[in-house]
Amino acid sequence: MADTMSVQATFDTEMRFDVTLGSGDKVRFDGMHTAGHSPVEMLLASLAACSGISVISILQKKQEVVTNYEVFAHGVRAETYPLVFLEIDVEHVITGRGVRKPSVERAIELAETSYCIVGIMLGKATKLTHRYRILEADEK
């Protein structure tokens, strides 16, 4: 049977919605961007987190010594409505000791094609690119 997920968005005031996730956690969204998160910005955040979770999991299985890992997502939106993302660039900055380039490349490839559902879905609607930098732990 297929896995299902549900959330509930409840109107608060103005353009604010409080969203209760299936886990019970709550997130506030605000279309005015004053008292909560922008839904579109959270889409980028979801992509960065999803990709990062997938990549770090694979690097850990490959026994790479990662001491710090940051994922930056930058999206370019259309100038007219609907203001969809035309392209999204994801940069992975991995700091560690002797982290191997082929391990990182394979981890990103697997995240893009098999594990990061957010990225796989967004990749069907926009130009999605990934790049990376590997830093030695004492470099930073």
Calculate mean pLDDT across residues 52-80.
Answer: 98
Instruction: Specify burial of residue 7 (Cβ count, 10 A radius: 0-12, 13-18, 19+).
Output: exposed
Structure tokens at 67: 């001491």
| Distances from the Cα of 8 to the Cα of 22, 31, 44, 118, angstroms | 8, 17, 20, 19
Tell me which residue has tokens 């697997």.
110
Calculate mean pLDDT across residues 128-140.
Answer: 88
Q: Is 1 a residue whose pLDDT tops 90?
A: no
Q: Which residue has the higher pLDDT, 86 or 138?
A: 86
Which CATH fold topology does 39-136 show? GMP Synthetase; Chain A, domain 3 (3.30.300)
Q: Where are the domains of the chain?
A: 1-37, 39-136
Q: How far is CA 109 from the centre of its chain?
A: 15
Structure tokens at 124: 């069907």
Confidence of residue 139 (pLDDT cuts 50, 70, 90): low
